[in-house]
């Protein structure tokens, strides 16, 4: 029993030391006041060669904190470094601030068009091969400005620009045509012939409008051939591409109908089918897209619109024609630069392997551009939404908006 007492005292002493360390704070971890979370990263081409890497760092002392902080301080700090390689530039960034930079929370990576045209594999692959970074960051191409300028314009945003950009991207995926891809997915698509990547262009508005979330603007879709930027889709072309690839969810668009009126429709779902048809002069592709929409608003609709069951037919024709035009325009833009963002090469490879063995070597350069594609769009109205009519059965406005007299809704 006596022999065990020294062991018990040693255990008690060790426990006291551990308790003191725990009570004194995180052991070996920098305090939050000295940690700068990197929210966004911008990559530009440096003069001569190499990269200029700019980061937007959430400044713990620029915001009110339990230990102080400057209430009127900037929410973010911008720091930059120039080097011949990405690893060297990231290493140099640590020497530009007193903060311990934490790269594990990057919300978005913005590359300049110049860097994207030169190839993204070299600057981005490093980010997926080091534990300093996460592979869930969104990738954007700065359109019209350098990546550093986009970050400079977002410096005063509250909440931080990274949160604003993520919010803008989420809304873009749901509400209007724009599409951003994540780092790992973008690099993965760059490896496959016949399945080219695309991601959103981004810029910053000079005025924020009604709130900071309006500062970032999605400005079309950047198309790549392998890892190089080769062209852009505008907003309507982006909608056509999203519909044709089954990515469209909740986006709205306006379609005309015979007899007058404009109809705002919300996409409830899109399903595509691609069939490759062999032929003596080469294969062709039949692209069929089945779409369900909801009618959410009308403008200048005929007075008897709601009382005519045949009116829905006019909407279907107008919507199908509109989306067919958008898809065709997007396909022509993609074929014009040899960027198979529709992944048609993958379908040729799977459905007509013999033809693919012949076309693969020249797919990007010429074969994709010459592939005939027939487009068929079928639209089905899932719901007409809600129609609000005057409450009073004697209100003469009922006739003007197409409501039956006496209708209460």
Query: Using one digit for the tens of pLDDT, what is the confidence trace for 70-104?
Result: 444 566 788 999 999 999 999 999 888 888 888 88
Average pLDDT over residues 259-279: 89
Q: What is the pLDDT of residue 385?
A: 58
- Cβ pair 53, 81 in contact under 8 A: yes
Q: What is the pLDDT of residue 167?
A: 86
Q: What is the pLDDT of residue 88?
A: 94
Strand partners, 294: 266, 383
Q: Is 89 helix (H, G, I), strand (E, B) or coil?
A: helix
Average pLDDT over residues 253-260: 80
Residue 41 has pLDDT above 90, yes or no: yes
Average pLDDT over residues 5-30: 47
Q: What is the pLDDT of residue 349?
A: 95
Residue 335 has pLDDT above 50, yes or no: yes
**What is the residue-averaged pLDDT of the chain?**
81
Intra-chain end-to-end CA distance of the chain, in Å: 88
Residue 403 has pLDDT above 70, yes or no: no
Residue 253 has pLDDT above 70, yes or no: yes
Burial class (CB in 10 A: 0-12, 13-18, 19+), 37: buried
Angle subtended by helix axes 235-244 and 311-337, to nearest 10 = 100
Q: What is the pLDDT of residue 74?
A: 60
Residue, of 276 and 316, whose pLDDT is higher: 276
Residue, of 385 and 367, whose pLDDT is higher: 367
What is the pTM assigned to this prediction?
Answer: 0.81
Average pLDDT over residues 9-28: 47
Measured CA angle at 343 (ends 341, 348), to 5 deg? 145
Q: Provide the greatest CA pair distance for the chain.
A: 103
Q: What is the pLDDT of residue 391?
A: 42
Token reading at 48: 């001569």
Residue 216 has pLDDT above 90, yes or no: no
Tens digit of pLDDT for each residue in 217-228?
889 999 999 999
Q: What is the pLDDT of residue 37?
A: 85
Residue, of 91 and 205, whose pLDDT is higher: 91
**DSSP string covering 42-65, please?**
EEEEPSSSSEEEEEEEE-TTSS-B
Residue 191 has pLDDT above 70, yes or no: yes
Domain boundaries, the chain: 33-233, 234-409
**CATH number belonging to the domain at 234-409, selected among 3.40.250.10, 3.30.300.210, 3.90.1170.30, 3.30.428.10:** 3.30.300.210
> Under 8 Å CB-to-CB from 58, ≥6 apart: which residues?
36, 37, 38, 39, 75, 76, 160, 162
CA distance 112 to 119: 11
Residue 308 has pLDDT above 50, yes or no: yes
Q: What is the pLDDT of residue 129?
A: 82
Average pLDDT over residues 126-143: 84
Residue, of 377 and 30, whose pLDDT is higher: 377
| pLDDT > 70 fraction of the chain, expressed in percent and rounded | 76
Residue, of 249 and 209, whose pLDDT is higher: 249
């Amino acid at each position: 029993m006596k022999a065990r007492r020294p062991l018990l005292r040693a255990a008690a002493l060790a426990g006291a030391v551990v308790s003191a360390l725990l009570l004194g704070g995180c052991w070996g971890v920098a305090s939050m006041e000295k940690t700068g979370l990197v929210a966004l990263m911008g990559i530009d081409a440096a003069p001569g060669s190499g990269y200029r890497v700019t980061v937007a760092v959430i400044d713990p002392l620029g915001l009110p904190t339990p230990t102080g902080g400057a209430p009127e301080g900037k929410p973010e700090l911008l720091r930059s470094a120039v080097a011949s390689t990405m690893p060297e530039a990231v290493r140099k960034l640590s020497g530009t601030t007193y903060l311990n930079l934490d790269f594990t929370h990057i919300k978005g990576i913005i590359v300049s068009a110049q860097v994207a045209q030169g190839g993204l594999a070299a600057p981005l692959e490093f980010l997926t091969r080091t534990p300093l970074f996460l592979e869930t960051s969104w990738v954007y191409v700065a359109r019209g400005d350098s990546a550093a300028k986009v970050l400079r314009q977002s410096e005063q945003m509250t909440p931080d620009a990274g949160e604003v950009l993520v919010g803008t991207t989420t809304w873009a995926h749901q509400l209007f045509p724009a599409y951003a891809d994540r780092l790992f997915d973008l690099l993965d698509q760059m490896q496959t012939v016949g399945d080219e990547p695309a991601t959103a262009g981004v810029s910053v508005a000079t005025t924020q409008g009604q709130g900071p979330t309006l500062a970032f603007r999605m400005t079309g879709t950047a198309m790549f051939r392998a890892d190089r930027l080769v062209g852009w889709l505008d907003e309507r072309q982006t909608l056509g591409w999203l519909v044709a690839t089954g990515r469209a969810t909740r986006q709205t668009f306006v379609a005309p109908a015979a007899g007058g009126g404009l109809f705002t429709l919300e996409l409830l779902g899109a399903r595509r089918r691609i069939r490759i048809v062999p032929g003596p002069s080469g294969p062709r592709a039949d692209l069929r897209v089945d779409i369900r929409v909801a009618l959410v608003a009308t403008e200048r609709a005929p007075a008897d619109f709601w009382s005519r069951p045949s009116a829905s037919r006019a909407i279907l024709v107008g919507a199908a024609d509109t989306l067919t035009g958008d898809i065709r325009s997007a396909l022509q833009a993609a074929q014009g630069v040899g960027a198979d963002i529709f992944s048609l090469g993958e379908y040729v490879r799977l459905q007509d392997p013999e033809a693919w063995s012949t076309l693969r070597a020249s797919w990007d350069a010429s074969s994709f551009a010459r592939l005939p594609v027939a487009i068929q769009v079928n639209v089905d109205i899932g719901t007409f939404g809600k129609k609000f009519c005057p409450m009073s059965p004697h209100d003469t406005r009922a006739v003007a908006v197409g409501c039956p007299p006496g209708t209460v809704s």
